[in-house]
Amino acid sequence: MPGDIQLTCSDCGQEFTFTAADQAFFSERGFSTPKRCKNCRAAKKAGQEGGGGYRSQASHGTPVICSGCGQPTTVPFEPRGDRPVFCRDCYTARKGAGGGGGRGRY
């Protein structure tokens, strides 16, 4: 019967217990003996997953000047020169004025 093993973490230098259950789990999956304690492994994993994997695409847009209020804004399309472009506020206000306050598409 294998027992628990005390190992030293290569990251933080702390001793940690490589339990018999963990040893069975690791050998079952073909993993080698861990070099890091659970805390450091968790931290490393979190760092890899949270390190800028998610990128917002909401910022994609064309910078324009709103024809209604004159504020700089972005629109999610390529504006044509012969048509006025509006910021979201003005667009919603204009749309809402004609439609009696219905829900916008935004």
List own/partner pairs for 1-5 with CB under 8 A and 24 or more apart.
none
Position 85 contacts Zn ion (CB under 5 A): no
43 binds Zn ion per the rule CB under 5 A: no
Q: Mark out the alpha helices in 1-106 (DSSP H runs).
A: 20-29, 38-50, 88-99
Among 7, 9, 43, 93, binds Zn ion (CB under 5 A): 9
CB 47 within 8 Å of CB 30:
no
Number of residues that bind Zn ion (CB under 5 A): 10
- Closest approach of Zn ion to the CB of residue 26, in Å: 17
Q: Which of 2, 4, 8, 11: binder of Zn ion (CB under 5 A)? A: 11
Per rule CB under 5 A, is residue 10 in the interface with Zn ion? no
Q: Identify the residue among 5, 8, 12, 99 touching Zn ion (CB under 5 A).
A: 12
Between CA 38 and CA 36 the distance in angstroms is 7
With vertex at residue 98, the alpha carbon angle to CA 65 and CA 73, rounded to the nearest 5 degrees, is 15
The nearer residue to Zn ion, 12 or 24, going by C-beta atoms, is 12
Task: Find the shortest distance in angstroms from Cβ 42 to Zn ion.
Answer: 10
